[in-house]
Structure 1
Amino acid sequence: MSECIDYTKTSLMEVYGENCFSDAVMRERLPGNVYHELKAVQAGSKKLSTQVAEVVANAMKDWAIERGATHFTHWFQPLTGLTAEKHDSFISPRPDGSVLLEFSGKELIQGEPDASSFPNGGLRATFEARGYTAWDTSSPAVVKDLQGVKTLTIPTAFISYTGEALDKKVPLLRSMSAINKEALRVIRALGNTTCTRIFTNVGPEQEYFLIDEKFYDQRPDLRLSGRTVFGTMSAKGQEMDDHYFGAIKERIGLFMKELNYELWKLGISAKTQHNEVAPNQFEIATIYESANISTDTNQLLMEVIKNVARHHGLVALLHEKPFAGVNGSGKHNNWSIGTDDGQNLLGPGDSPGENVQFLLFLTSVIKAVDTYGTLLRLSAATSGNDHRLGANEAPPAVISLYLGNTLTEILDCIAEDRPLVKRDGKLVELGLTTIPTFPMDDTDRNRTSPFAFTGNKFEFRMVGSSQSLASPNTMLNVAVAEVLSEVATRLEQADDTLTEVKHIIKEFYTSHKRIIFNGNGYAPDWLEIASNRGLPNLTNTVEALSHLDDPEYTKLFGKHGVFTAAELHSRKEIYLETYSGQLHIEAGLMVEMAKRRAIPAANRYLKDLLSTMEAQMSFGMTPRSQKTLAQNLFDHIESALDALESLEQTLVDVLETKGDALEEARYYHGKVVPVMEILRSHVDELERLTEKSYWPYPSYEDMLFHL
């Protein structure tokens, strides 16, 4: 990724942030008045002027060129789920044949990539190619370094000629503005006059697999779809839990060393790394940043993981379920609400006043999660995540909220108007100014809960490993903003603010406590309990996404200016088309791999087995077990061929659903997926029965236990 750096001998302090145009760099390189005006722009209190943009652009160019950059790019996040960039050089020809190195304020502020081929969900006609990238001043520019090829990379938003959001950043920024507005109203009503800005913070935990690239290169399913469409578990999987938090192997340690340094150079504070549950599965966590910056840095993180892995003869797999039979990968989204005067609004605090504020925001989140749980569920809905949710590795598809016993008891006491008994046996009167303090981490972690309170934040564990953080945090921000809007209005109109706060806390908890579940989400009876409580169980991506533009959500997003009705509908169309497209690729891979290599390999083995049996019988031997093996091979070959024919036919029949994204996605889920599962069951059984030297693909044992 970068030129010949010996990471074992390079000091962290030498490299940290060297490729990030950070606040410290801006303070050093910009004139004082320009720096302060840019900070005001970042805080949303001023608009960016052309004069400031020119000064910043020149400083940014000089800084990037000093680091060896020759090009710049507006880096954005289209609705493909990936990132996109178009590179332009700094050179500007002169009449005498020489060149100047230039980068104007206009080039910094706005770019115009060809947008015709990006997904738009009906927002625009294909021939209307214009799309504009706009500099996101709140997220730092970086210099990407790909083995010495250095590019100034500027985070940007991506919009159409007519102003519609064509990316994931714009709605996220809008949702952050919405929660800022409504939360400010609430704390103003509570008497806080020092805070001027409220933001949501996110600390993601990224899981991924590593395999040797020689095996990856032999697996077309991994190369083209990110997961194995065929494959049987080896005799050993994760049963012994010996990989989880185990000693990191030397090869992986060297990879992690380079990974950390490359991230640190970008100013990304990679903090924690360890072996995860499944063989060859790992996790890395970064420290908290605002939701927008965390979304950007997580996209960079995934890119850097993949690039660095290749330097070590490895391939990083970010799919939610690359291997059947072992844990898949998620991206735990740790979410909290902070203020610019240093408060965590989800921190219990030490004083009764802070606890009142905390309980008000806590119960507001409880109501938001109950009322808008479907939005949270669909924000984590992908074909990859369908393989993971509900297994003993990820939370079930039912949205519930974990509080822990202490918080639940406090809220129960408030709701039931009964005194709380402290641990020392004393009674505490639960008045508005005498709500008791409690330790910040007086809650255990519930690994089976999709939305768990973990001391001073919520951990949204449902998000898939390959996903952008933008959509989950957009949905969460809007849901909470809507509830805070109600709270603010009630407090602003109240004659007695503190009395109204008490009423709200009690009302929200009483009306929405059905969402709270402190038990085992994997327990067989939880789904029945959830159903009795009226909690929705949207078990697959298609049914979850079908609700995205429901009238109530269209109204909600319109009220807070996050999505127009057209933008919301476009996303529903795009995400459903993405689901169908991914399954079409996987089904096509199954057809190719089974027809051209797997079944022929099993047939060759059967032929040789029959020849061996014939020779044995010519000597009067009776190969009873081999006869059974041969029959099993034959039966599964025939069944696989039947399933193969059926799958090919379903892929023809799906053409009849073209033009209706929801109907097509439902067809893939209801018709194509079941046949894929049948074909996989027979091909996987053929792998078990066929002698290894005949099998054309690396096995799970090869891939998961060879590093």
Structure 2
Amino acid sequence: MAAFRQRALDEAASHTAERFYVEKGPVSHYFGQNVFDLDKMRGYMSQQAYEAVLSAVKFGAKLDRSVANEIASGMKSWAIEMGATHYTHMFQPLTDATAEKHEAFISVKDGKAFEKFNGSALVQQEPDASSFPNGGLRNTFEARGYSAWDPSSPVFILDGTLCIPSVFVSYTGEALDTKVPNLKSLQVLSEAATAVANLFDESVKSVNVNLGLEQEYFLIDESLYNARPDLVLCDRTVIGHTSAKDQQLEDHYFGAIPSKVSAFMKDFETEAYKLGILLQTRHNEVAPNQFECAPVFCGATKAIDQNMMLMIIMQKVAEKHHLKVIFHEKPFDGVNGSGKHCNWSMVTDTGVNLLSPGKTPNKNLQFLSFYAAVVNAVYEHNFLLMTSVATLSNSYRLGGHEAPPAVMSIFSGSTLSSIFKAIDNMETLPEAEAGLESIKIVNSIPEIFPDNTDRNRTSPFAFTGNRFEFRAVGSSQNVASATYILNSIVAESLRKFRSEVDSLVSKGEDLSTAVMNVVRKFIHDSRNIMFEGNGYSKEWEAEAEKRGLRAVRNVPEAYEVYHEQKTVDLFSKLGVLAPNEVEARFEVLNETYVKKLQIEARVIGDICLNHVLPAAVRYQNILIENVRGVKEIFGDEYKSLCSSEFSTLKKISCLTNAISHDVEELVEARKRANRIEDIAERAKVYSHEVKDLMDKVRYSADHLEMIVDDEMWPLPKYRELLFI
């Protein structure tokens, strides 16, 4: 076996299960110990400063800079007691990751060292904005940008550094991150949702969005990962034949968690608990070496920040265990990819879930109002919402029979569907179902009481009883990119809902009748988005097209939705994004697509020329020598005796020639694409020409893998990556 691959396999075999982060006592004893939450603040600042922070956190009040010094002093004291030596503004630029610059507390004056951290350092820092994706909003000669503390998300300590969740804007105020538009969308949604909620309960003062984010991931041995240049550079395999066994036995999902994986899970959970991340579930996913963890839902801003922290923690802890976490949506061909299911709901400041059916007619009318508004929002902007999850990595997953389809639809379940049908047809609403008959198994097993609706795993946007589950979000994505769009379209729909109700009431209709009439109108106008069947079927594909629902067939072409006036107007009138900020995101999305595909194209070329072809030629030479030996011994009989060798030699020659030719074509296609100045057009050429050539190269390389002697193949194979 090739020495590099053999060494990687030997190292992988030597890695054992081991715990590194062990805390004594129950989780409740150390939960949140590394978070400077409201309870801890009380002991480090005056009542006035505490109340200022409390108002900012709970009610979104503006934080007066006059108390910033006192707050900073309290934070510093706590952080130093916890062993922190540095602080950083942690923000979320347009990279789907986090960014941080660590500054030391230590300072010197008159030859004496002391720790320093004041209000201005807490409130504001100045990163170089031109060095981050910005879509033309910043240049090298006008590079100034600002990060500013976001009090709505608590500060925390990670690896001895005080991390301050922050927003990131340009010198002229444009949003250069995902947090700013998300915060703005939450504010405008709260206002619109409160206005509708006040139709039923005037005591409601605000509405928050709750998120529960289910994080899927692959876990690969570090040695095997490092022996694959494509995994190291692209986070996915650009070549690799499927394993004889993968997920077809359906025995990995919910199976016994391997001991090495279990040790890793327990360790990262311990670190997550210290940061106040309330992880609730862990389990094997469908594909080999694929797993999932999920926290308890919480407020949207906190949930997004915690998910970004969780991904960082998982990667750091994995290093201790000689493992690599892969968040890429489709790292391995032929098995399921990974997503990040986004469970989205709206909750009032009085504690009412607006997407939970009520027990009284008034509460049910409220539920129907908000449900209809969400359905209408998704229908009106279905392509924009689907495009919010369109990335190169997610495009390898979406539309396959493993993930949601590439066209948007809403699954409501049989009970709600029958109610909406009756409302649309102005029929008497069906009686509430008493619930399905309990399932009895044997006497020793308690009765099972089924829910009143099934689950549809093929729906990208499904109602699951008291929330919507947006299943199309990619596992590596910062979910804020999708949620600020979802929040915005729902805010627009709720504004329209309240306006139409007010209009009918002003014409003499009583409130309940007016609300029901608007609910009926919204449901009728949006009926094409609702689908209860199999989203994977060809019939739905054709039906969706008939209904005018666009599918994301090509990612760069889908990005053109950001140029549609309807999209620009949506964000502009809500104050979530200005037109130039929308354009900047369009530019960044296309740039990112091109750069990532460019890297993948270069990597597949390098691997094939430097690893695959040399191995194939070496094996070919062995076969040639074998044929020569047979000829020397058996004379003219060698032709019949070596028929299989001749066949194999011919296959290898055809495949190596194809790879050489296609890699050369791939290089030329990249050069042609790179000469195109317009980034959107360049992305489209990369998508159509470069990507297609990569598929051709992979086809040949994967066939060679099944021909070349296993002892000579230089790269770890799928059976090793997924089962060791």
TM-score normalized with structure 1 length = 0.95
Match of 2:444 in 1: none
Change (3 A) 1:589 1:27: same
Aligned to 2:254: 245
Once the two structures are superposed, residues 405-434 of structure 1 have per-residue CA deviations (whole angstroms, 9 ceiling, x without a partner) of: 0000011111112224437799xxxxxxxx
The counterpart of 1:42, out of the listed 38, 57, 82, is 57
**Structure-2 separation of matches of 1:62 and 1:611:** 75
Q: How does 1:381-392 map onto structure 2 within 5 Å?
A: 381-392=390-401
Letter in 2 for 1:655: N
1:115 aligns with 2:129: yes
Alignment-derived partner of residue 632 in structure 1: 651
CA drift of 1:193 comes to 2.1
Change (3 A) 1:142 1:400: same
State the one-letter code of the partner of 1:356: L
Matched, 1:466 2:476: yes
Retained in 2: the 8 A contact 1:90–1:102? yes
Contact 1:441-1:454 within 8 A present in 2 as well: no
The answer on whether the counterparts of 1:383 and 1:582 sit within 8 Å (CA) in structure 2 is: yes
Give, as a single letter, the amino acid of the residue that structure 1 aligns with 2:80.
Answer: I
Q: Distance in 2 between matches of 1:617 and 1:27?
A: 90
Q: Distance in 1 between matches of 2:184 and 2:607?
A: 45
Q: What displacement does 1:195 show? A: 1.7
For residues 30 and 709 of structure 2, the distance between their equivalents in structure 1, rounded to whole angstroms, comes to 51
Gaps of 5+ in 1: 427-438
- CA distances 1:653-701 after superposition (whole Å, capped 9, x unpaired): 11221x2111000000111011000010001101111111111111011
2:322 aligns with one of 313, 317, 324: 313
Structure 2 unaligned regions, length at least 5: 1-18, 436-448
Q: Who is 2:15 aligned against?
A: none
Distance 2:451 2:210 in 1: 18
Report the CA distance shift for 1:611/1:238 in structure 2 as closer, same or farther (over 3 A). same
Q: In the alignment, which residue of structure 2 is the partner of 1:359? A: 368
Q: Could you report, residue by residue, the CA deviation over 1:17-48 in whole angstroms, capped at 9, with x for unpaired residues?
A: 11111222223433333222221122345321
Instruction: Give the letter for the 1:62 counterpart.
Output: S
> Are 2:210 and 1:192 equivalent residues in the alignment?
no
Give the AA of the match of 1:669.
S
Q: How far, CA to CA, are the matches of 2:319 and 2:723 in structure 1?
A: 18
The answer to whether the Cα contact below 8 Å between 1:204 and 1:333 also exists between their aligned partners in 2 is yes
Q: Tell me, yes or no, if the aligned pair for 1:348 and 1:440 is still in contact at 8 Å.
A: no
Q: 1:351 to 1:594 in 2, by over 3 A?
A: same
Give a deviation string over 1:361-405, Cα, whole Å, max 9, x none.
001111000001112111101000110001121011100000010
Do structure 1's residue 667 and structure 2's residue 715 form an aligned pair?
no
* 1:584 aligns to 2:598 (yes or no): yes
State the aligned residue count: 684
Letter of the structure 1 residue corresponding to residue 61 of structure 2: K
User: Would the aligned equivalents of 1:72 and 1:153 in 2 still touch at CA under 8 Å?
Assistant: yes
* Counterpart check, 1:488 vs 2:503: no
Q: Distance in 1 between matches of 2:217 and 2:380?
A: 32
SS in 2 for 1:606: helix
Matched, 1:653 2:668: no
Match of 2:454 in 1: 444
Q: Determine helix, strand or coil for the equivalent of 1:159.
A: strand
For 1:161 and 1:421, locate their aligned partners in 2 and report how far apart those are by CA, in whole Å.
58
Deviation for aligned residue 1:10: 5.1
1:517 to 524, 531, 537: 531
1:333 matched to 2:351: no
Question: TM-score by structure 2 length?
Answer: 0.92
Counterparts in 2 of 1:425 and 1:211: CA distance versus 1, 3 Å: closer
Pairwise CA distance, 1:187 = 1.5
| In 2, Cα distance between equivalents of 1:546 and 1:224 | 29
Q: How far apart in 1 are the matches of 2:693 and 2:405?
A: 24
- Whether the 8 Å CA contact 2:129–2:138 is kept in 1: the answer is no
Tell me how far apart the structure 2 counterparts of residues 8 and 241 of structure 1 sit (CA, whole Å): 35
Aligned-partner residue type, residue 221 of structure 2: D
Asked whether the equivalents of residues 616 and 656 of structure 2 are also in contact (C-alpha less than 8 Å), the reply is yes
- 1:696 aligned partner: 714
Q: 1:159 maps to which residue?
A: 169
Distance 2:273 2:117 in 1: 26
Q: Tell me if structure 1 keeps the 8 A contact 2:390–2:552.
A: no
Q: Check 1:700–1:308 CA distance in 2 against 1; reply closer, same or farther (3 A cut).
A: same
Alignment of 1:51-450 (within 5 A): 51-95=66-110, 97-145=111-159, 150-188=160-198, 190-422=199-431, 441-450=451-460
- Distance between the aligned counterparts of 1:654 and 1:661, measured in 2? 10
Change (3 A) 1:568 1:598: same
Among 592, 607, 630, the residue aligned to 1:593: 607
CA contact (8 A) 1:183 1:484 kept: yes
1:500 counterpart residue number: 514
- Compared CA separation, residues 27 and 8, structure 1 to 2 (3 A): closer
Contact 2:60/2:152, CA 8 A, preserved across alignment:
no
Specify the SS of the correspondent of 1:505. Answer: helix
Shift of 1:8: 6.8
Specify the code of the residue in structure 2 equivalent to 1:168: T
Change (3 A) 1:10 1:641: farther
Contact 2:21 2:270 in 1 (8 A): no
Deviations 1:218-246 (A, max 9, x none): 11111111110010111101000111000
Percent identical among aligned pairs is 43
What are the superposed Cα offsets for residues 555-607 of structure 1, whole Å, 9 maximum, x if unpaired?
Answer: 11010000000000000000100000000000000111111111111011011
Q: Distance in 1 between matches of 2:581 and 2:499?
A: 28
Paired residues of 2:204 and 2:350 also in contact (CA < 8 A): yes
Q: Distance in 2 between matches of 1:185 and 1:354?
A: 16
Q: CA deviation at 1:49?
A: 1.3
The answer to whether the 8 Å contact 1:225/1:585 transfers is yes
Distance 1:668 1:72 in 2: 41
Q: Does 1:530 align with 2:539?
A: no
Quote the residue 1:681 is aligned against.
Answer: 699
Matches of 1:668 and 1:616, distance apart in 2: 49
C-alpha RMSD of the superposition: 1.6
Write the deviation string for residues 469-511 of structure 1: whole angstroms up to 9, x where unpaired.
Answer: 1111000000000010111122333242211101011111111
Provide the rounded CA distance (Å) in 2 between the counterparts of 1:466 and 1:600.
34
Residues 38 and 52 of structure 1 are in contact (CA less than 8 Å); yes or no, is this contact kept in structure 2?
Answer: no
Separation in 1, partners of 2:20, 2:116:
30
2: CA distance between counterparts of 1:158 and 1:176? Answer: 17
- Is 1:25 paired with 2:35? no
Deviation larger for 538-547 or 469-478: 538-547
1:477 and 2:491 aligned: no
Contact between 1:441 and 1:456, CA under 8 Å: does it hold in 2? no
Aligned to 1:430: none
Give the residue type in structure 1 aligned to 2:712: Y
Identify the residue that residue 9 of structure 2 maps to in structure 1: none
Question: Cα 1:251–1:425, aligned 2, differ >3 Å: closer, same or farther?
Answer: closer
Per the TM alignment, residue 649 of structure 1 is displaced from its structure 2 partner at its CA by 1.0
Distance 2:42 2:291 in 1: 37
1:549 counterpart residue number: 563
The whole-number CA distance in structure 1 between the counterparts of 2:26 and 2:350 is 34
Name 1:573's counterpart in structure 2.
587
612-621 or 153-162, which deviates more? 612-621
CA distance, structure 2, for counterparts of residue 8 and residue 156 of structure 1: 30
In 2: Cα distance, 1:182 partner to 1:417 partner: 27
Q: Secondary structure at the match of 2:217?
A: strand
Contact map agreement 2:419 2:430 (CA 8 A) in 1: no
Question: Which range moved further: 447-456 or 111-120?
Answer: 111-120
- Distance in 2, matches of 1:244 and 1:557, equals 41
Distance in 1, matches of 2:380 and 2:210, equals 22
Matched position secondary structure for 2:131: coil
- Amino acid paired to 1:585: I
